[in-house]
Amino acid sequence: MASEGILLGMGNPLLDISAVVDEQFLQKYDIKLNDAILAEEKHKPMYEEMATKYNVEYIAGGATQNSIRVAQWMLQIPGATSYMGCIGKDKFGEEMKHNSKLAGVNVHYYEDESAPTGTCAVCVVGGERSLIANLSAANCYKSEHLKRPENWALVEKAKYFYIAGFFLTVSPDSIQLVAEHAAANNKFFTMNLSAPFICEFFKDAQDKILPYMDFVFGNETEARTFSKVHGWETENVQEIALKISQCPKASGTHKRITVITQGADPVVVAEDGKVKLFPVILLPKEKLVDTNGAGDAFVGGFLSQLVQEKPIEDCVRAGCYAANVIIQQSGCKYPEKPDFN
């Protein structure tokens, strides 16, 4: 049984503004499918345009928060998971708090007085998604919030930590604090490569935390970018997963396991110098709604079994199950109860 507060996530809480758009819209704003980027000046008008031109849905999102909510849903134990991040004092922020409580996650948000709650445009074309994040308040998270006794208590209580790579752009010092705590106390610290731009432009920050990572998640595109920026000269995902698993570790308590998803292709798991492949649950094209949240859901499902000390096979199976459920909904949404055994 997973105990209360066993899993803690930290990240950028964002409200997803999701819509099925068209190729012209992508071209207009210079957006690539299956990418995740931070909004630049040229992207600012698109949020308004989406809301007026397309049928928009507002869904609580943010990569880490999605994974934590899915893990919570899979576990069905109130308060098994906790989450920290920064929101604004506004309508979207209130909605986020309401959503998270309903989901059973114990959220300790830092509320910023000056910036609005962050948003993420989710542009869907042919079931594939592209993400453009306007972090706003999410970018204001400070490690001072983490160090407050009532918040650090969540760190003390947790045995597993999950932080998406996106948080490296916001508060690397908070990540460092949690990573060092995990290493010193034989806990599990897990992260996600999250996006090609993180591997490329936040390489130093990522490399600094890598020794603390007991599990590294990512997809095939991120893995190949990671390989490229490290000069490994291989595009072979299995080889890259193996190399990541063999990078030096801060603590010898846990070996590192790399888990790379590849859309409809098998999941690659590298540990102990060996690679295993796990097939995913294939979905007929007509049942696919959108891939937004698929990777996050995979991690959430995986972690829901990991915190119960289940074997890796079960973790991957749960990850594939959760991702399969999520891609049949728009955004990171799920039915009331999981049907996983």
Residue spans of alpha helices (H) in the chain: 23-28, 44-53, 63-75, 91-103, 143-147, 149-157, 172-184, 196-201, 203-209, 220-229, 237-245, 294-306, 312-326
Radius of gyration for the alpha carbons in the chain, expressed in angstroms and rounded: 18
339 is catalytic: no
Set 35, 296, 314, 339: catalytic member: 296
Type of residue found at 161: F
Q: What is the phi/psi pair of residue 262, to 5°?
A: -135, 50
Burial of 209 (0-12, 13-18, 19+ CB in 10 A): buried
Cα separation of 159 and 81, whole Å? 11
Taking a C-beta distance cutoff of 8 angstroms, is the pair 37, 198 a contact?
Answer: no
Tokens of 221: 């595109």
Cα separation of 179 and 176, whole Å? 5
Closest CA to 106 of 91, 84, 90: 84
Type of residue found at 293: G
Q: What is the phi/psi pair of residue 161, to 5°?
A: -125, 140
Q: Which residues are CB-neighbours of 39 under 8 A, at least 6 positions away? A: 121, 132, 133, 134
Active-site residues: which are they? 296
